[in-house]
A and B are shown apart, each in its own frame.
Chain A
Amino acid sequence: MLLSIENLTVRYGPETALNIDQPIHIEEGERIGIIGSNGAGKTTLVKSILGLVPYQGTIQTALTRDQIAVHMQFNEYADSMPVKYIMEAILETKISKNKKLQELIGYFEFGECLKKRYTKLSGGQKQRFTIILVMMQEAPLTFYDEVTSGLDFETRQKLMEKLANWYRNKNSSLCIVSHYYDELENLVDKLLILDKGRVVAYGKTEELFRRYCGRAVIILDNTPENEILVKDHKRLAAPAHLIALSCDNESDEREVTSRLLAHNKNYKHSSRDIEILSINAKKALFMKSEGISYDK
């Protein structure tokens, strides 16, 4: 086990920003997505693990501080010189002499940016600068707090793809905080869902999906016509513009899809949609707190 968290509470003044009562264990090689709305406590969790905020509870790890790398949500550097020199100082190296660093700079197409100052870099270039520094640490545990926020769709996808490829055959554990569920779907195998400082669910994505959504979900637009077509099928909670149907077995699935196909309706089939999963996990938690048993 790399890291374990028990009974973690973080307060900012009177406000409780984080209150984790169930144990959270991070194992070697795991890829964990941390999701939750703004203010859910994701960054606070990362900060408490790094010892940057005071907390109550226990965080145990055999790792030293140098073995945990982190891309914070906001990263700032000196602005008095081109970023090249900052990079060399932090990594204690010369770019011209460091093959691995050259490779990363090439991989992230950062070469052109090296002679610019940090504030002159674009948002995506800033993110890549920190990513390169973080990757060079080759830490057993790495946090990425919203590496893609504020980037355009294409840049975001490209960056995430590069990140995924880079870590593909490596054994480092990753914790990735993100609001973009689609980019997490291909990268993580576990999810930590937070809401208002509490843990909604933590576990393998597949298991959580089975628990809260079933074998698979069929997602379609929320229109009156679709509504009538699927009215007797098992519904899951979904964003207002969508209808999500839960399918427990193949015949179930076939039955719905053939009906939709017959009426020429568009739908999406998924067995790992994180958005639907998180909405339903939240609903389950809410129902539990109200004393109602959850049955998807």
Chain B
Amino acid sequence: MTNKTRKSLTLQMLLFELRNITGNPYVHLFGIAMPILMSYIIIRGVTMEVSDPALLCTISTSVFLGIGVVIPMAIALMGYAATRAQEMEKGIPERLELFGIRSSITLCNRIAAELIFILVVFILYFVYGCLFLELEPPKASGAVIYTISMLALTIILLCIAHGIASILKKFGPTYCVVMILYFTLMLFSGMMGLSYDNMPSGIQFVAKLLPTTYLNKDIYTIWVGESCRFAPMIQSYLLWAVIAGILLVTTAEIKQKYHKLP
């Protein structure tokens, strides 16, 4: 191993990270079971009085797609932050670095593993949706954009979770911060009952900054291939990507404080 530089992505590391994800029970509960249950209950609730099959289909699809946002939020944000904070507490990243596995390598493999995992979860989610709910089939462009936006959100949330946990280093504070972030995102992006159109303008302003808002309110339009303004959505993604980037840089800076062997 001496003198051999490690590749950023290897099969062993990828499998290792996948096992790390699936070994976290939280992910199964809040990332898989909860969205399925939530979408079922909410869709049953709101469509109880609807008799028009076309309308029923529209509502179901819209709610179903919106709730899909919970998957990356639970898995990449909360689930990963919990895992990362726990390993920070135990000094596992430091131990891995001593074996020559830099945190950038870890992060790289983690992003790849989370993307694979989230993709699988979405497939399961849609299999369930097709079996038990009336869903409208997407336009090809809609399906592609939906997938890309969910995966991009996953990467951003993962980096944010990584940054927060690496900076705070403790499970308690990390969990607290991520929990607040989770519910803030849910609330402001209209997933807790208050929809975007009914928000006071101040709250609307905040909502506009969140990618999750668009994934909730515009996603049906995108899904069925109707025209939609993408600029605000892309801007919100960029904003959050910058936030994630700043957090990662801060993490790296904190580590650089000490001398490092070449």
Contacts and interface: CB of A to CB of B under 8 A. Distances in A.
Nearest to B259: A51
Interface in B57-116: 87, 90-92, 94-96, 98-101
A50 B20 contact: no
B20 A78 contact: yes
A52 B258 contact: yes
A88 B11 CA distance: 10
Interface string A54-94: 11000101011111111010111111110001101111111
B25 to A, nearest CB: 10
A72 B259 CA distance: 18
B261 interface: yes
A121 interface: no
B193 interface: no
Most chain A C-beta atoms within 10 Å of own C-beta, residue among B1, B2, B87, B96: B1
Contacts of A70: 98
A189 to B, nearest CB: 23
A137 interface: yes
A50 B23 CA distance: 31
A137 B87 contact: no
Task: Kindly state the interface size class of chain B when it binds its partner.
Answer: 20 to 34
Contacts of B101: 90
Q: Is the interface of B mostly helix, strand, loop or mixed?
A: loop
A221 to B, nearest CB: 44
Given A66-B100, A90-B99, A137-B99, A80 B19 contact: yes
A68 to B, nearest CB: 7
A74 B95 CA distance: 9
A92 B13 contact: yes
A69 B260 CA distance: 15
Given A77-B92, A80-B22, 18 more contacts: A50-B98, A51-B261, A65-B100, A65-B261, A65-B262, A66-B1, A66-B4, A66-B100, A78-B23, A78-B87, A79-B23, A80-B19, A81-B23, A88-B12, A89-B10, A92-B1, A133-B99, A136-B1
Interface of B: 1-4, 6-7, 10, 12-13, 15-16, 19-20, 22-24, 87, 90-92, 94-96, 98-101, 257-262
Interface of A: 50-55, 59, 61, 63-70, 72, 74-81, 85-86, 88-94, 133, 136-140
